[in-house]
Copies of this chain bind each other. A is one copy, B any other.
Amino acid sequence: MTFTFDHLYQFTKEILLRIGCPEKDAALATDVLLSADLRGVDSHGVARLSGYVRLWEKGRINSQPHIHVSYETPSTAVIDGDGGLGLVVAPFAMEVAMEKAIIAGTGWVSVKNSNHYGIAGYHAMMALKHDMIGISLTNASPLVSPTFSKERLLGTNPISVAIPAKNQPPFVLDMATTTAANGKLEMLQRKGENAPLGWIQNENGYPTTDPKGVKAGGALLPLGGDREHGSHKGYGLGAVVDIFSAVLSGANYGPWVPPFVAFLEPDPNPVGVGLGHFFGAMRVDAFRPAEEFKSHMDNWISRFRAAKTTPDHAKVLIPGDPERELEAERKKNGIPLIPAVETDLRDLGKRFGIEL
């Protein structure tokens, strides 16, 4: 079934108000969550709303946090999210990064004591309207095994980089550091289809095509899939995201990152507080005049878009193209929800006396 953006927006915001979020926070968190649904990252949108509520019920999310800078230099800051929704903590942190960039040229913010922050791209894209490059990283619940390991020690630890252009739409990379995002596996499970080799391994560390392999104790694989195809690089990138997000800030890292699902308890001996993010903002004109930079970005984008294609494909894409096209389509025609998510939201609504 398909819902309009406005309908899902009102519903989501109302739920967040009911768990105690201040008006402004509820609006912001809703905006972040729904941007995932609009951009086709369905696993990170309203499908997670009941998960956030369950964490709040368990006392693992603070709906009225005192988010604050706990340390800073001219171009850096550490932010304590006070256990708030990552959906609210992250935009706060990105604003701080951009304020630093106005003065120092760039700003870099590592965040502790936060929670799941939605799609990485939302926060990186905040920089675009200020003619800045935005960078957004986060660690996440451990689901990924390093190369040669059968233990789950890393999250899907995404990297997003948003770069402004002039007449062309912006360049927006937003990628998990795994071969495939967890949401894609869930889609295959629902359809009863197999996964390609290189996406997951089973609980004994052997490659498998069974999409249920991860839930059965297996793991997602780092980008590359296996050593011969460069999985040590995906593992290395995921590790950098983890370290920048959590070892720099004082959050939990690696296997200590608290699970998103409320039915799993966080490690009783944490190495930090909450989970961590990392944000960067670079003023384009801290390097060269913004108009000059953006003209060259237009040229870069045009050249790559015009590249000769392989026989089976009609066009070469620029990072951000698929999400932007879907966003335009869904703003116009609505956001489709799969039955499981629709039911979940209706049940959630009933508990708070709100109709979906």
Residues on A lying within 8 angstroms of B by beta carbon are: 71, 73-76, 78, 103-106, 108, 110, 145-151, 153, 159, 161, 163, 171, 173, 175-180, 196, 198-199, 201, 204-206, 223-225, 228-230, 232-237, 239-240, 242-243, 247-250, 253-255, 271-272, 282-284, 286-288, 292-293, 296-297, 299-300, 303-304, 307-311, 313, 315-317, 319
- Find out whether the CB atom of A223 lies under 8 angstroms from the CB atom of B228: no
Contacts A105-B75, A148-B310, A150-B309 given: A234-B239 contact, CB under 8 Å?
A: no
Closest 8 CB pairs between A and B? A205-B310, A73-B105, A148-B313, A76-B105, A173-B236, A149-B307, A76-B286, A75-B75
| Chain B residues with CB below 8 A from A104, complex form | 73-75, 104-105
- Find out whether the CB atom of A253 lies under 8 angstroms from the CB atom of B300: yes
| Chain B residues with CB below 8 A from A230, complex form | 175, 178-180, 223-224, 234
- Find out whether the CB atom of A297 lies under 8 angstroms from the CB atom of B148: no
| Chain B residues with CB below 8 A from A286, complex form | 73, 75-76
In the complex the two chains form, what is the Cα distance from A239 to B320 in whole Å? 12
In the complex the two chains form, what is the Cα distance from A106 to B272 in whole Å? 24
Instruction: Name 20 interchain pairs, CB-CB below 8 A, sorted by A.
Output: A73-B105, A75-B75, A76-B105, A76-B287, A146-B316, A148-B309, A148-B317, A151-B308, A153-B303, A173-B237, A175-B230, A175-B232, A180-B230, A201-B310, A204-B310, A205-B311, A232-B317, A249-B287, A253-B296, A253-B300
Q: Assembly of this chain: how many copies?
A: 2
- Find out whether the CB atom of A175 lies under 8 angstroms from the CB atom of B319: no
Closest chain B residue to A178 by CB distance?
B230
- Find out whether the CB atom of B229 lies under 8 angstroms from the CB atom of A198: yes
- Find out whether the CB atom of A239 lies under 8 angstroms from the CB atom of B149: no
- Find out whether the CB atom of B196 lies under 8 angstroms from the CB atom of A228: yes
Task: With both chains docked as a complex, state the minimum distance between the C-beta of A139 and any C-beta of chain B, in angstroms.
Answer: 11
Closest chain B residue to A310 by CB distance?
B205
- Find out whether the CB atom of B149 lies under 8 angstroms from the CB atom of A310: yes
- Find out whether the CB atom of A179 lies under 8 angstroms from the CB atom of B229: yes
- Find out whether the CB atom of B304 lies under 8 angstroms from the CB atom of A153: yes
- Find out whether the CB atom of A234 lies under 8 angstroms from the CB atom of B223: yes
Which has the most chain B C-beta neighbours within 10 Å: A179, A199, A229, A308? A229
CB < 8 Å: which of B201, B232, B283, B307 contacts A151? B307
- Find out whether the CB atom of A233 lies under 8 angstroms from the CB atom of B175: yes
| Chain B residues with CB below 8 A from A293, complex form | 247-248
- Find out whether the CB atom of A287 lies under 8 angstroms from the CB atom of B171: no
| Chain B residues with CB below 8 A from A249, complex form | 287-288
CB < 8 Å: which of B153, B178, B250, B310 contacts A288? B250
CB < 8 Å: which of B74, B196, B282, B303 contacts A229? B196
6 more A-B residue pairs beyond the given contacts A148-B317, A149-B307, with a C-beta to C-beta distance below 8 A: A76-B283, A149-B310, A150-B310, A173-B237, A235-B319, A250-B288
Task: With both chains docked as a complex, state the minimum distance between the C-beta of A342 and any C-beta of chain B, in angstroms.
Answer: 29
Contacts A240-B161, A287-B248 given: A304-B224 contact, CB under 8 Å?
A: no
- Find out whether the CB atom of B232 lies under 8 angstroms from the CB atom of A153: no
Task: With both chains docked as a complex, state the minimum distance between the C-beta of A169 and any C-beta of chain B, in angstroms.
Answer: 15
Closest chain B residue to A109 by CB distance?
B287
Closest chain B residue to A103 by CB distance?
B74
